[in-house]
Structure 1
Amino acid sequence: MESASLLSDVPPITSGWSRRQRLEPKSADYYGVARGASSETEGFLAAQCSSGQTEADHSSAAMLTLASKLKRDDGGKTGRASGASDSTHRVSIRDRLLTKEVSELEAHLPSTCKASFPDEDKLHHFQLAVSPDEGYYQSGRFQFEIDVPEAYNMVPPKVRCLTRIWHPNITENGEICLSLLREHSIDGTGWAPTRTLKDVVWGLNSLFTDLLNFDDPLNIDAAEHHLRDKEDFRNKVQDYVKHYAR
């Protein structure tokens, strides 16, 4: 009996109750609080993710912008390098042609012409003096400047008369009308890659003789002057020679 009394004083075991308590369904309020906490947590995490994503987007955009700029810069350098290379290549072709053509020109230069090169290393720039020994311009000395462009011989040399002259095919400003110097000529007499410096020099020399053309003038006033009064035209030509072509 004493043992029973002692046992009755022992508190009931509660471990089973605690286990049942843990297993019992939670109330709606509990889940509401849990869900609320979860929503706040999710919102916080979403905000963090969004912020991180925005920063990542900004970083990616910056990297793309930088990459594009570097690509453009590199492309520009490549383009400039390519352009410089093309120009160097054209100059090389021109200079090789001129080395041969200048030698040929000097061997076949008309007796009334003299070529001079201010810089022997620059065959693409030289001057030509023409001293006609007959016709209206006899006793004059007419100076021409000749520049050979990089694209030669696909394009003609650029020629200008440095001496003031009264001529139907040369203006007083030095512009020249010579068919073989035309890039696009419908009659086939214009420039062609088969032409050389020798052709240009012989053409300029002939402007004072065979190619003197009053029917297709560049200086219309000079041509009309010749048509009105040939003797007066001759006198004016000689007057120009005395003042500008000695």
Structure 2
Amino acid sequence: MITLSKKLLQKRGETAAGGPVAAGAEPRRRTAMRDRLLTKEVQELHENLPATCSVEFPRPDALHEFVLTVRPDEGYWRRGAFSFGISVGEEYNMSPPEVRCHTRLWHPNIAEDGAVCLSLLRQNSYDGMGWAPTRRLKDVVWGLNSLFTDLLNFDDPLNTEAAEHYALDRDGFERKVSEYVRLYAAR
């Protein structure tokens, strides 16, 4: 675990034992730890993947970057296929993965530019459901999948325009979602 004292020692070019730091030692060790965790978690992910999701690793040698596709079978977005790019940084499992939606959609918790609002993707969360080292990739996948059903949140939106549209005109909201699905996410 990286602590403030370790960071200060690294800045000064020393180790805890007082000797010089090998160039790039900490990042390389942290990357190796992340990759060991991912090897185990990717296997677990495949075993626990929701029926509405699929994962693709564009580069088999890079488990830290993959694409999740969610195909909801119920709700407003049920006719679409939504692609998310997931990038797991070197600080994983102390920090959450970065997630971007590659598919343009009309959703209160996903901005049109691809930003995603999901508590477990935040280091610190007001609702206490933020990232913790005990979380796994399967939790991220299940959370993203649930954004299309039970985690749909109109009360704390990222895309306020979509949330307001829903509050003022549910039929119009549904038509706009259908239009976006037809234009950008049709299966």
Into which bin does the TM-score normalised by the smaller protein fall? Answer: 0.7 to 0.9
Could you tell me which residue of structure 2 aligns to residue 225 of structure 1? 165
Q: How many angstroms does 1:102 deviate by?
A: 0.3
Structure 2 unaligned regions, length at least 5: 1-12, 15-19
SS at match of 1:224: helix
SS at match of 1:216: coil
SS at match of 1:115: strand
Separation in 2, partners of 1:86, 1:145? 26
User: 1:87-146 CA deviation, whole Å, 9 max, x = no partner?
Assistant: 110001000000000000000100000000001110000000000000000110000000
Separation in 1, partners of 2:158, 2:127? 18
Could you tell me which residue of structure 2 aligns to residue 147 of structure 1? 87
RMSD: 1.3
Ranges of 4+ aligned residues in structure 1 off by more than 6 Å: none
Could you tell me which residue of structure 2 aligns to residue 188 of structure 1? 128
- Correspondences of 1:105-184 after superposition (within 5 Å): 105-184=45-124
Separation in 1, partners of 2:45, 2:83? 17
Answer 1 or 2: which has greater helix percent: 1
Do structure 1's residue 212 and structure 2's residue 152 form an aligned pair?
A: yes
Structure 1 unaligned regions, length at least 5: 1-74
Give the TM-score normalised by structure 1.
0.67
Could you tell me which residue of structure 2 aligns to residue 95 of structure 1? 35
Do structure 1's residue 238 and structure 2's residue 178 form an aligned pair?
A: yes
Give the TM-score normalised by structure 2.
0.88
Could you tell me which residue of structure 1 aligns to residue 8 of structure 2? none
Letter in 2 for 1:119: R
Separation in 2, partners of 1:89, 1:104? 23
- 8 Å CA contact 2:119–2:127 kept in 1: the answer is no
Q: How many angstroms does 1:162 deviate by?
A: 0.3
Residues 103/154 of structure 1: CA separation in 2 closer, same or farther (3 Å cut): same
- Correspondences of 1:194-205 after superposition (within 5 Å): 194-205=134-145
- Correspondences of 1:15-34 after superposition (within 5 Å): none
Separation in 2, partners of 1:186, 1:107? 31
Separation in 2, partners of 1:158, 1:233? 28
